[in-house]
Amino acid sequence: MGSGLAKYASPTIYDVRPGRFLYLKPEGSDREILVKFRTWSSARTNQRIVSARPAGRREVLNTLKNMVRGFLWEKGVNVKVVEVRLDMEAGHLEVLYAADTKLDLRSYGAELARLLHLKIRFQQIGARDMARRLGGIGLCGRELCCTTFLKDLPSVTLDMARAQYLFSAPEKLSGICGRLLCCLRFELPYYREVAKVLPRLGQTLETEKGQARVVEVNALKLYYVLRYPDGTTEKVFVGEAEPVTPNETPGGRAP
């Protein structure tokens, strides 16, 4: 495909409608080229083809995606082209891209449209949306929640992590998208319920042995650890003599 229109002579009449994409093999070339068929013409041309075949939708999308990437790279635009969506009937191409900062690529749409002979629409998406479309394996070793059962991508804050007794640096609580883990949000209700029966970390409690400080809280096994002034510690289970397993959260995994 190119910015201009090219004419090719063919010894065979192919059953193809205008607007369809074809792979042509020009005479004297060992490579196929992707073209968008416009119409049949009686005008003479020296360019001939030896074969033609319909281009599959996936082939067209991959080629267009690479061409958009190359176009933006030549323009010095540093973005990641995540996905392209093509309406072959209407001749519309939607380009979904991600970038570290807010970028408006609409000014490149007209130039790219002349190159591809398609109407172009650029749409910037966030890091979470990009991860959902690309898929992958999370830190837990399972397929990403956003690609399996999460319908809405929630906002996540560090306060949610602290409520779950997680005090690591943000980068250690981030998924492959670079944002805070989505599970910090949908697992939060469990920890809020557990907080009603477990003491706070660092809290001082009055016990039969005197005052003790809470030095560890395990919300999954429902116990906390007390440290007494003499340095001894005691593990206290809440409501159960043995550790219990919390209910599963949506998606089938324990929080």
46 and 18 co-located in one domain: yes
- Could you report the per-residue pLDDT of 88-123, keeping only the tens digit for each? 778 899 999 998 888 889 889 989 988 888 899 999
Look at residue 68 and tell me if it is in a domain. Answer: yes
Domain count along the chain: 3
Residue 19 has pLDDT above 80, yes or no: no
Query: What six digits make up the tokens of 124?
Result: 């910037």
For the chain, the average pLDDT equals 82
Label residue 43 by pLDDT band (50, 70, 90): confident
Which residues constitute the domain of residue 174?
129-186
Last residue of a domain, one of 186, 207, 235: 186
More confident residue, 98 or 27: 98
The pTM of the full predicted model, rounded to 2 decimals, is 0.59
48 within some domain = yes
Residues 79 and 116 in one domain: yes
The rounded radius of gyration (Å) of the Cα atoms in the chain is 30
Confidence of residue 11 (pLDDT cuts 50, 70, 90): low
From the list 147, 158, 84, the residue with the least C-alpha distance to 116 is 84
Identify whether 2 is part of a domain: yes
Are 4 and 18 part of one and the same domain?
yes
